[in-house]
């Protein structure tokens, strides 16, 4: 499950929560531009034809998969993908939606070119394969693809597709493009109506989450406003740390809810280089968004491709976040978090075009994050909230944390 947001116009902003198994580390890596002499490339499941050159990108990637959930490249193209539930049988092992996302970021200079790249690869190789970390999970994919000037929503079902250009969009785990598509692979059908699986779509909570993100698309809130959107909980969730909430944009697992927000990203595309805000961790409502200017040397939560410290960082933050399970974070925690982020944002607004100043800010944000979590780790008291089923769920997850699938190399 996921939610992706995009706005173009006076400002160009991208945001996404990646909702997956709560025990699945998701790392943020800088992948450099490269020239390639080899003819073929191994993705998650299949080998595809390689291109002579690939672009530099920042990719948020589940550790065992080749592709990524969200990312931005050196040309300011940003993409997020969504699991969507369609009628009929899903395809055999082919390209995953995350593979398609990474391939497009590596190969495209504009949003339109990224859109065309995904369509061409989809038609040639198809999509399919298990994308679940600790259980089997198959689906088709939707994408939000944007740069400074254009935004596209692309829906797919097998090798079929439809897309629409929009000035702003919020997408979730539901097909979006109807009879008003700009282009489609089939005749003049309502793509969403024809292909949507209504049962799985309903139980994903996607319609409610999508309505929430669309309601926030004013274009005036800036990056900080999109961070607030990514932290939104269903109004009926009195304490999401005591009950799973599939209908919340900031998704919390537990009981019958098996997905959890495991990574969050907001990108401003307005400057000379993308300014990226990252939690580097799960549960954005209790995490800090830290700034990183694309092109700078990696500073956690951003790491060089293949650095094992990336997974260790995620796990360290995750162990802190789980201290809140069954508890209710105090108001002082949120006030201090918000003050830190406001200070980061003020500095970033002054220095977004200054790589050295942004490098210093990223390092300072990391130091202050460590101090913040070290302080609150001593103050948070274990909670006993939640049903017996909820507590059993998290006891099982806690026992298995860090013992899942092995890390996959990115190259």
One-character DSSP codes across 122-179:
HHHH-B-----SSS----EEEEEEE-SS-EEEEEEETTEEEEEE-SEEEE-SS----T
Side-chain half-sphere exposure of 90, counting CA atoms within 13 A: 23
Q: Is 316 part of a structural domain of the chain?
A: yes
| Residue with token string 């499941």 | 45
* Residue 406 belongs to some domain of the structure: no
Tens digits of residue pLDDT in 393-407: 999 999 999 987 655
Query: Residue 77: in which H helix or E strand, if any?
Result: none
Q: How far apart are CA 263 and CA 242, in angstroms?
A: 20
CA 302 to the chain's CA centroid: 14
d(CA 248, CA 238): 12
pLDDT at 367 exceeding the cut of 70: yes
Predicted confidence (pLDDT) at residue 220 exceeds the cutoff of 90: no
DSSP state letter for 242: S
Closest CA to 7 of 265, 209, 221, 177: 221
Structure tokens that stand for 142 in this block? 């939707």
Catalytic residue among 2, 157, 212, 285: 2
| Cα within 13 Å of Cα(8), Cβ side | 17
Q: Is the peptide bond before 301 cis (omega within 30 degrees of 0)?
A: yes
Is residue 405, in this structure, part of any structural domain at all?
no
What is the distance in angstroms between the CA of the first residue and the CA of the last residue of the chain?
26
Report residue 202: phi and psi, to 5°: -60, -50
Confidence of residue 204 (pLDDT cuts 50, 70, 90): confident
102 neighbors 374 (Cβ within 8 angstroms): no
- CA–CA separation, 277 and 224 (whole Å): 9
> Which whole-number Å values give the CA distances from 388 to 23, 248, 323, in the listed order?
20, 22, 17
| Rg, C-alpha atoms of the chain | 20
Could you give the 3-state DSSP secondary structure of residue 206?
Answer: helix
- Is the Cβ–Cβ distance between 191 and 178 less than 8 Å? yes
Which H or E element spans position 360? helix 355-377
Supply the range of the domain harboring residue 224: 2-400
**Alpha-carbon torsion 279, 282, 288, 289, what sign?**
positive
Alpha carbons 10 and 219: distance in angstroms, whole number = 8
User: Which residues are 301's β-sheet partners?
Assistant: none
Answer yes or no: is pLDDT of 196 > 70. yes
Which CATH number do you get for residue 64?
A: 3.60.60.10
Q: What is the mean pLDDT of residues 361-380?
A: 96
Cα of 331 vs its chain's centroid, Å: 27
Give the pLDDT confidence score for residue 406 in this predicted structure.
58
> Are the C-beta atoms of residues 58 and 30 closer than 8 Å to each other?
yes
Predicted pLDDT at 340: 98
235 confidence band (pLDDT: 50, 70, 90): confident
Mean pLDDT of the 286-312 span: 97
Which one, of 5, 272, 10, 271, lies nearest residue 151 by Cα? 5
Query: Nearest 5°: phi and psi at 127?
Result: -130, 150
Q: Report the candidate in 213, 302, 214 with the shortest Cα–Cα distance to residue 263.
A: 302
Is residue 22 situated within a structural domain?
Answer: yes
Cα–Cα distance measured from residue 210 to residue 84, given in angstroms and rounded to the nearest whole number: 13
Percentage, residues of the chain above pLDDT 70:
98
Is 411 among the domain residues? Answer: no
Domain tally, the chain? 1
Catalytic residue check, 157: no
- 410 within a domain of the structure (yes/no): no
pLDDT in tens, 56-94: 999 999 999 999 999 999 999 999 999 999 998 999 999
């Amino acid at each position: 499950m996921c939610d992706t947001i995009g706005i173009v116009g006076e400002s160009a902003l991208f945001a996404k929560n990646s909702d997956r198994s709560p025990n699945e580390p998701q790392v943020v890596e800088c992948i450099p531009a490269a020239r390639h002499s080899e003819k073929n490339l191994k993705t998650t499941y299949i080998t595809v034809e390689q291109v002579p050159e690939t672009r530099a990108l920042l990719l948020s990637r589940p550790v065992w998969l080749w592709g990524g959930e969200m990312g931005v490249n050196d040309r300011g193209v940003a993409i997020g993908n969504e699991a969507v539930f369609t009628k009929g049988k899903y395809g055999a092992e082919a390209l995953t939606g995350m593979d398609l996302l990474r391939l497009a970021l590596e190969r495209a200079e504009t949003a339109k070119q990224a859109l065309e790249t995904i369509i061409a690869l989809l038609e040639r190789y198809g999509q399919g394969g298990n994308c679940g970390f600790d259980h089997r999970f198959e689906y088709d994919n939707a994408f939000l693809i944007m740069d400074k000037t254009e935004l596209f929503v692309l829906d797919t079902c097998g090798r079929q597709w439809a897309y629409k250009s929009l000035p702003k969009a919020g997408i979730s785990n539901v097909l979006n493009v109807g009879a008003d598509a700009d282009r489609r692979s089939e005749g003049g059908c309502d793509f969403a109506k024809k292909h949507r699986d209504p049962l799985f779509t309903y139980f994903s909570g996607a319609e409610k989450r999508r309505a929430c993100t669309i309601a926030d698309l004013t274009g005036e809130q800036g990056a900080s406003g999109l961070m607030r959107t990514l932290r939104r909980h269903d109004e009926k969730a009195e304490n999401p740390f005591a009950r799973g909430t599939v209908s919340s944009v900031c998704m919390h697992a537990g009981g019958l809810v098996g997905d959890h927000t495991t990574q969050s990203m907001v990108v401003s595309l307005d400057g000379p280089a993308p300014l990226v805000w990252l939690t580097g961790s799960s549960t954005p409502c209790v995490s800090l968004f830290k700034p990183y200017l694309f092109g700078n040397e990696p500073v956690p939560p951003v790491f060089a491709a293949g650095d094992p410290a990336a997974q260790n960082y995620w796990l360290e933050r995750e162990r802190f976040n789980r201290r809140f399970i069954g508890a209710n974070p105090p108001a002082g925690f949120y006030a201090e978090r918000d003050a830190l982020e406001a200070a980061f944002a003020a500095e970033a607004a002054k220095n977004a075009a200054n790589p050295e100043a942004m490098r210093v800010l990223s390092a300072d944000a990391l130091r202050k994050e460590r101090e913040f979590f070290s302080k609150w780790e001593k103050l948070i008291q274990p909670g006993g909230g939640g049903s017996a089923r909820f507590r059993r769920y998290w006891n099982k997850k806690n026992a298995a944390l860090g013992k899942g699938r092995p890390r996959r190399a990115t190259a």
